[in-house]
Chains A and B, each alone.
Chain A
Amino acid sequence: MSILQAQGLSKKFGGLDAVSELSFAVEAKEIFAIIGPNGAGKTTTLNMISGLIKPSAGKLKLNGQEISIKDSAERCHLGLGRAFQVVQPFPEMTVEENVLVGALFGKSGVSEATGRKLAQEVLKQTGLLALKDTPAEELTLLQEKRLEIARALATQPKVLLLDEVMAGLRPGEARQAVELVKNIRNKGVTIVFIEHVMPVVRDLADRVMVMDYGKKLAEGSYQQVTNNPQVIEAYLGAEE
Chain B
Amino acid sequence: MRRISYDLLFVLLAAALLFFLPATLKALYGKASVSYLSLLINATGLAILALSWDILARTGQLSLAHAAFYGAGAYTTAILLKLADWPLWLGIPLGGIVAVLLALLLGSVTLRLRGIYFAIATLAFAEVLKAVVQQLPTRIAGGAAGINVAALFRPAFIPGEMERWEVAFLRNQSYFLVYVGILLLSILVSILVQRSRLKPAFTAIRTNEEVAAVMGVKPARYKLLAFALSSFLVGLLGASEAHRIGSVLPDETFGIGTTVFALVTPIFGGLYTTLGPILGAAGLASVEELLRRTFEEGYLIGYGIVLVASILFMPKGIVGLIDSLKRRRRKLPRSAEEAV
Contacts from A to B (Cβ < 8 Å):
50-52, 71-73, 76-77, 82, 84, 88, 90-93, 97, 100-102, 104-108, 112, 115, 151-152, 154-155
Bound form: Cα–Cα A52–B210 in Å: 7
* Distance of A105 Cα from B212 Cα, bound (Å): 9
CB distance from A83 to the nearest CB of B (A): 9
Q: Which of B197, B211, B218 has the most CB of A within 10 A?
A: B211
From B200, B204, B213, B215, contact of A71 by CB (8 A): B213
Interface residues of B in 193-249 (CB under 8 A from A): 196-197, 200-201, 203-204, 207-208, 210-219
Could you tell me the distance between the alpha carbons of A108 and B218 in the complex, rounded to whole angstroms?
A: 10
B214 with A90: CB separation less than 8 A: no
Give the complex CA separation of A68 and B211 in angstroms.
Answer: 18
Interface size bracket, B side: 10 to 19
Main secondary structure of the interface of B (DSSP, over half): helix
- What separation, in Å, do the CA atoms of A164 and B212 have in the docked complex? 20
B214 touches A50 (CB 8 A): yes
Known: A105-B204, A154-B215. 12 other contacts (CB 8 A): A52-B210, A52-B214, A73-B218, A73-B219, A88-B211, A97-B200, A101-B212, A101-B215, A104-B200, A105-B212, A112-B196, A152-B215
With a cutoff of 8 Å between Cβ atoms, the chain B residues found around residue A88 in the complex are 208, 211
For A97, the chain B residues whose CB sits under 8 A away are: 200, 203
A72 to B212, CA, bound (A): 9
In the complex with contacts A88-B208, A88-B211, A90-B208, A102-B216 CB distance below 8 A: yes
- A151: chain B residues at CB < 8 Å are 215
> Which residues from chain A contact B210 at a C-beta distance below 8 Å?
52, 72
Knowing A92-B203, A93-B203 touch, does A102 contact B215 (C-beta < 8 A)?
Answer: yes
Contacts of B218 in A (CB 8 A): 71, 73, 105
Which residues of A have CB within 8 Å of B197? 104-105, 112, 115
**Residue pair B213, A101 in contact (C-beta under 8 Å):** no
Asked if A105 contacts B217 (CB within 8 A), the reply is yes
Q: Considering the complex, give the chain A residue whose CB is closest to the CB of B272.
A: A92
23 A-B residue contacts at CB 8 Å? A52-B210, A52-B213, A71-B213, A71-B218, A72-B210, A73-B217, A84-B211, A88-B211, A90-B203, A90-B208, A90-B211, A91-B207, A93-B204, A93-B207, A104-B200, A105-B212, A105-B215, A105-B216, A106-B215, A107-B216, A112-B1, A115-B197, A152-B215
Closest to A83 in B: B214
Find chain B residues with CB under 8 A from A105 CB. Answer: 197, 200-201, 204, 212, 215-218
A105 to B217, CA, bound (A): 5
**Distance, CA A50 to CA B214, complexed state (A):** 7
List residues of chain A with CB within 8 A of the CB of B204: 90, 93, 101, 105
The answer to whether A155 touches B215 (Cβ under 8 A) is yes
